[in-house]
Amino acid sequence: ILAKVFANEFTGVCKLKQLRELDISFNDISGSLPSCLANITSLQSFNKSQYLDLSHNLFQIPISLGLFFNHSKLKYFLSQGNNEIYREKTEQNLTPIFQLETLFIDGYACNEAFPKFLYYQHNLRVARLQSLKLRGRFPYWLLENNTKLEDLYLKNNSLSGPLQLPLHSHLNLSFLDISDNLFHGIIPPDIATHLPRLELVDLSKNDFNDLSNNDISGSLPSDFSCSNMVGVHLSRNQLQGSLEDAFFDCLQLVVLDLSHNNMTGSIPSWFERFYQLGYMILGHNNIEGEIPIHLCNLTQLSLIDLSHNNLSGIDLSCNKLIGQIPIQIGYLNEIHVLNLSHNNLNGKIPASFSNLSQIESLDLSHNNLQGNIPSQLTELDFLEVFNVSCNDLSGRTPEKVKQFATFDESSYRDNPLLCGWPLQKDCATMESSPSISRNFCVSFGVAYAMVLVTIAGVLFINPYWRQVWFYFVEISIDKCYYFLIDNIGCLSKFKIM
C-alpha cells in the first residue's frame, strides 16, 4: 500500500486483513494514530519481519509505542521528521512482545525519561532517539542489553552527568553520537577498551572539560563554537593541522592544552585576544616559526609550555617577566634565537640550555640572574651571540673553547662577582680575598673574646680591682644622671620636627 493513496482518512487501513507492509512516510497525515493499529498483526515484509515507517508526517505518537505491543514480529519502527512524540499520562506497565532491530524516533517532543519498552529490547542494531528532550544519564544499560548494537544516536536531548560506559566491553558499537546534550566531566580514558570497534564518535556541544588521552584525530574545525568555553583539554590525541583559525572566538579561555599531538604551522599573533588565558600548553607538537611578542600582553599567563616543537626563535625581551627561567625552554632544541633580556628574571641559568643545539643567539642580559654560568654551554657549536651582562652572576666564565673563544668582555660586563677571561678580574685573586677577610674576622673575634675573659677573670680573683671597677661604674652612672638633670631645660627648647 503506497502512502500517497491516503489524504486525511486513515481508519480504513485497519480493515485490510492481508496487509503485509505499511509505509506512509513523507505525507502530511495528522492526528493521533488509530487504536485499531494494535490489531493489525499481519504486517510483515518480504523477509518475514514487520516494518512500520511513519516518518515525515504530523502524527501524534506515544513514545511508549503501546499501540504496537502485540506486534510480535515488529522489527523496524521509524518515526522521523515532524511527528509529535508525546508521553502518555499513564504509561502502560505491559511488556512488549516485539524485539526491535531498528528504532528511529525523533522530531518535536517533550519527554523526560527513556520509554520503558527499551528496557526489554535485546536485539537492537540501530537506535536513534534524537530531539526528544530526554533527561537522565547516559543509557549504558542499552549497550549491555543489546550486544549487537552497532549505531547509537542520542543527539539533541537533555542527557547529563558523566559518560558512564558498560561494565563489559561492547564488541559491535561502531557509531556513537551524543552531541548537543549536557554531559560533563572527563571522557573515560578506557573508552577504546570498552568500545574497541568504535569508528565515529561525536561528543560536541556538551560540557566535557577534558578530552585528553583519547584517539581523536583530524584537524581542528575553523568554526569551533566556543564563545563561553574556559578550558580546552585535547592533549595526547592524534590531532593535526594548523591553529590559524581554530579557537578564534574563544575569548574566555583559561586553559588551552593541545600537547602531545601533531599540530603544525605557527602560533597565531591573535592569541593575544585570550586575555583570560592562564595556561598555554602546546608542547610535543610540530609547531614552527617564532613565538609572537604579543603573547607578553597575556597578563594572566602563569604557565607556558612550548617544548619539543620546531620553533625557530623566542623574543620576550623588554617585558616585566619575573621568576626563574623554566628549564623546559632548554628542550626547544630547534630554536635559533632566544632573547630574554631586559626583564626581572632571577635564579640560575638552566643547564638544560646546553640542549639548544641549533641556537645561534642567546641574550639573557639585564636581569637579576645569579650563580655560575653552566659550563655545558660550551657544547653549543652554532652560538654566535652570547650576552649575560648586567646580572649578578658569579664564579668563572666558561672555558675559552669553541664558540666561547670568540666572545669579548661585553658579553660578561657588570657582573661584580664574575671573573676569568676575557674579564680583567683574576679568579685566583678574587678567590683568595674572601679567605683573607674571613681569617681576619676569625682572629679579631678570638682576640676580643680573650680580652673579655681576662678582664672577667681578674675581677673575679682580685677583690680590690673588683671594688674599683664597680666604683668606677657607679661614678659614671651618677655623672650621666646629673648631666641630664642640669641640661634638660636646654634640651626642651628644641622642637623635634
- Which grid coordinates are listed for 25? 512516510
When mean pLDDT is compared across 102-111, 113-122, 134-143, the lowest value belongs to 102-111
Burial class (CB in 10 A: 0-12, 13-18, 19+), 496: exposed
pLDDT confidence tier of residue 49, bands split at 50, 70 and 90: very low
Note whether residue 277 is domain-resident: no
Note whether residue 332 is domain-resident: yes
pLDDT confidence tier of residue 366, bands split at 50, 70 and 90: very high
Alpha-carbon distance of 343 to 316, in angstroms, equals 9
Write out pLDDT tens, residues 159-217. 999 988 888 899 999 999 998 888 888 777 777 788 888 877 787 778 776 677 766 77
Partners of 84 in beta bridges:
60, 108
Across 282-287, average pLDDT: 89
Domain that holds residue 73: 1-134
pLDDT confidence tier of residue 35, bands split at 50, 70 and 90: low
In this predicted structure, what is the pLDDT of residue 10? 57
Note whether residue 12 is domain-resident: yes
Note whether residue 292 is domain-resident: no
Statement: residue 222 has pLDDT above 70: no
| Residue 353, CA distances (Å) to 292, 338, 378 in order | 21, 10, 10
Indicate the pairing of strand 344-347 with strand 303-305.
unpaired
Peptide bond into 350 cis (omega under 30): no
| Residue 329, CA distances (Å) to 255, 303, 333, 380 in order | 20, 12, 9, 15
DSSP E strands: which ranges in 33-100? 50-53, 58-62, 74-79, 84-86
Note whether residue 98 is domain-resident: yes
In this predicted structure, what is the pLDDT of residue 302? 77
Across 117-135, average pLDDT: 93
Write out pLDDT tens, residues 329-359. 888 777 888 889 999 999 999 999 999 888 9
Number of domains present in the structure of the chain = 2
Note whether residue 380 is domain-resident: yes
pLDDT confidence tier of residue 496, bands split at 50, 70 and 90: very low
User: Under the phi-then-psi rule, with left for phi > 0, alpha for psi from -120 to 50, and beta for the rest, what region is 395?
Assistant: left
Partners of 313 in beta bridges:
290, 337
Note whether residue 223 is domain-resident: no
Q: Which of 419, 442, 471 lies at the terminal end of a domain, its last residue?
A: 419
Write out pLDDT tens, residues 373-431. 999 999 999 999 999 999 999 999 999 999 999 999 999 999 999 999 999 888 887 65
- Which grid coordinates are listed for 151? 549505531
Per-residue three-class SS string for 433-459: HHHHHHHHHHHHHHHHHHHHHHHHHHH
- Which grid coordinates are listed for 316? 620576550
Partners of 394 in beta bridges:
417
Statement: residue 125 has pLDDT above 80: yes
Q: Which of 129, 118, 239 is nearest to 177 (CA)?
A: 129
In this predicted structure, what is the pLDDT of residue 36? 65
Q: Which of 79, 101, 134 lies at the terminal end of a domain, its last residue?
A: 134
Question: What percentage of residues in the chain have a pLDDT greater than 90?
Answer: 27
In this predicted structure, what is the pLDDT of residue 149? 96
CB 414 within 8 A of CB 390: yes
pLDDT confidence tier of residue 147, bands split at 50, 70 and 90: very high
Statement: residue 5 has pLDDT above 50: no
Across 51-64, average pLDDT: 84
**381: CATH:** 3.80.10.10
- Which grid coordinates are listed for 85? 512524540
Statement: residue 13 has pLDDT above 70: no
Statement: residue 495 has pLDDT above 60: no
Mean pLDDT score of the chain, rounded to an integer? 81
Partners of 257 in beta bridges:
233, 281
The kind and range of the H/E element at 145 are: helix 140-145
Q: Which of 419, 448, 475 lies at the terminal end of a domain, its last residue?
A: 419
Across 257-282, average pLDDT: 88
- Say how many C-beta atoms besides its own lie within 10 A of residue 205's C-beta: 15
Q: What is the dihedral of CA 342, 344, 350, 356, to 10 degrees?
A: -30
In this predicted structure, what is the pLDDT of residue 2? 38
Partners of 136 in beta bridges:
159
- Which grid coordinates are listed for 148? 549487537
